[in-house]
Amino acid sequence: MAEAVPLWKIFAVFAKIGAFTIGGGYAMIPLIQAELGRRGWIPEEELPDIVAISQSAPGVMAVNISIFAGHRLRGLKGSVAATLGSVLPSFLMILLVAAFFTAFRDNPYVERVFLGIRPVVIALIAVPMVRMARRSCRSWWSWTIAVLSLLLVAFLQVSPVWILLCTLVLGFSLTYARQWKR
Amino acid sequence: METLTLLLELALTFFLIGTFTIGGGYAMLSLIQGEVVLKHAWISAGTFADIVAVSQMTPGPVGINTATYVGYDVLVQATGSPWMGIAGSALSTFALMLPSFLIMLLIVRFYRQFKTSTLYAGTMDFLRPCVVGLIGAAAVVLIVHTTWDGCNPTFSLVRDNFPDRKSWVLLGGGYLLARKGVSPIQLILGAGALGLILY
């Protein structure tokens, strides 16, 4: 941190990134790289670390990256400015769209459009799931966890929060036990 | 008074969702669905699919957009006022991000220890497949509705999302095209046009 970057500038740069990120966090990485790297705000070699940490912390990656990068620049104030910036464009956009659709939902044309869209939405959820499964389900026990979680939530209507909590406790204690044995 | 309770409930729900979202936006969708569609029944499975579609086409992370939209929709449904809708969406979005904020600030401080912790890496090995299952469940719930009568389940198709056979073709086609790397925006626009022609 050589000299203090003005907060409005942090806000503006992240608003720009937020406005052009379509389709989720991964689309944001090249933009972050271009905008922050070019300004020398974040050293290139730190970027992979920031992305990895933002991915594994709770919440949405894009927000986590903003919090982290903002903090590097101006501490807590920087985090707030960056996060507000990256969320505001989509927030306003969604409000506009939501106001529009709430008024037009019962329109028969809109209904027909969405009859076509809904099955495709399910496909769009399934694709990243399969991709993630290929990466993170590599043993019989990881498949068991995945299938059990799916069945419990989809058919027994158990809250995902409980499933995550139980897995967290189980994973933590087993990992701890394994290390302790060594 | 009722509106205030609803706002409070919304804030708590999204704070909880923000705390337990591990594995990004799609994991968040499964949590939002679990809380908002299944538990509180604020929104139907059909409307939820619409909201996800809109969230994928607008800029910004899918999870946050969905939360903003859900906050708006729930309040407008309850009060009929778009202004309350704006309050609901602002509150949901804020509550959703608050846990990330608190946790990230901790991580920023201890980031080197965190990165090299094998305990952390080991725990994540368990959580990742769990998240895969949760995202799968989010997709399944949009297709099949299960009701329990004691120990006997009854399965039924979610008619909002699957009115007829054409829906299955759209699902299969969408899946294949998305796997090939066609962008979500193009797919949703295409599917919308097909809906207009087919139905």
- The chain B residue lying nearest A25, using CA atoms, is B61
> Is A22 near chain B, with CB under 8 Å?
yes
What pLDDT, on the 0 to 100 scale, is given for residue B84? 93
Q: Which residue on chain B is closest to A60 by alpha carbon?
A: B24
In angstroms, the Cα distances linking A182 to A175, B52, B113, B118 are: 11, 46, 20, 13
Burial A138-177 (b: 16+ CB within 10 A, else e): eeeebeebbebbbebbbbeebbbbebbebbbeebbeebee
Q: Residue A26 has what DSSP assignment?
A: G
Both A12 and A72 in one domain: the answer is yes
Per-run averaged pLDDT (10 residues), chain B, 199 residues: 90 94 82 91 90 84 89 92 93 94 85 75 87 89 87 86 90 93 85 92
Nearest to B48 by CA among B154, B143, B133: B143
Question: For residue B65, which of A153, A81, A129, A96 has the smallest C-alpha distance?
Answer: A96
Looking at residue A91, what is its pLDDT? 93
Chain B environment of A61 (Cβ under 8 Å): 24-25, 61
Q: DSSP state, A23?
A: S
For residue A1, is it within any domain?
no
Instruction: Quote the minimal CA–CA distance from B183 to chain A in Å.
Output: 8
CA distance A33 to A25: 13
A19 within some domain: yes
| Same structural domain, A57 and A122 | no
Interface confidence (ipTM) of the complex: 0.81
Q: At what angle do helices A7-20 and A61-104 cross, to 10 degrees?
A: 60
The answer to the question of residue B186 being in a domain is no
Question: Nearest CA to A148 among B132, B133, B30?
Answer: B133
Count CB-CB contacts under 10 A for residue B33: 28
Tell which A residues from 96 to 125 touch B, by Cβ distance under 8 Å.
97-99, 101-102, 105, 109, 112-125
Whether residues A132 and A143 fall in one domain: no
Q: How many domains is chain B built from? A: 1
- Paired tokens of A94: 């969604």
By three-state DSSP, how is residue A73 classified? helix
Same domain for A92 and A22, yes or no, is yes
Residue-number span of the structural domain to which A121 is assigned: 108-136
Full DSSP string of A119-170: HHHHHHHHHHHHHHHHHH--SHHHHHHHHHHHHHHHHH---HHHHHHHHHHH
Residues of B in contact with A143 (CB under 8 A): 129
- Min Cα distance B10 → chain A (Å) is 16
Q: What single letter denotes the amino acid at residue A107?
A: N
**Contact state of B129 with A97 under an 8 Å Cβ cutoff:** no
pLDDT digits (tens, 9 = 90+) for A128-141: 889 888 888 889 99
Instruction: Determine, for residues A154 and B141 on separate chains, whether the beta-carbon distance falls below 8 Å.
Output: yes
State whether residue A175 is helix, strand or coil: helix
The answer to whether position B92 is within a domain reads yes
Stated pTM of the model: 0.82
Q: How far is A130 from chain B (nearest CA, A)?
A: 8
Residues A90 and A166 in one domain: no
**Is residue B196 domain-resident?**
no
Phi-psi region of A171 (alpha: psi -120 to 50; beta: other; left: phi over 0): alpha
If asked whether residues A24 and A61 sit together in one domain, one would say: yes
Domain of B73, in residue numbers: 2-162
Indicate whether A2 belongs to any domain: no
Which pLDDT does position A161 carry in this prediction? 86
Tell me the count of A-B CB pairs closer than 8 A.
Answer: 385
Q: Look at A22 and B59 and tell me if their CB atoms are within 8 Å.
A: yes
| Residue A72 included in any domain | yes
Considering the domain boundaries, does residue A21 fall inside one? yes
What pLDDT, on a 0 to 100 scale, did the predictor assign at position A1?
A: 46
Q: Does A180 touch chain B (CB under 8 A)?
A: no
Do A100 and A162 belong to one domain? no
pLDDT at A24: 57
Q: In chain A, how many domains are there? A: 3
What does the buried/exposed string (b/e) look like for A98-135 if buried means 16 or more CB atoms within 10 Å of the residue's CB?
beebbeeeeeeebebbbbbbbbbbbbbbbbbbeebbee
What stretches in chain A show pLDDT beneath 50? 1
Please tell me whether residues A64 and A96 are part of one structural domain: yes
Name the β-bridge partners of B59. A22
Q: Which residues pair with B156 in a beta bridge?
A: B145
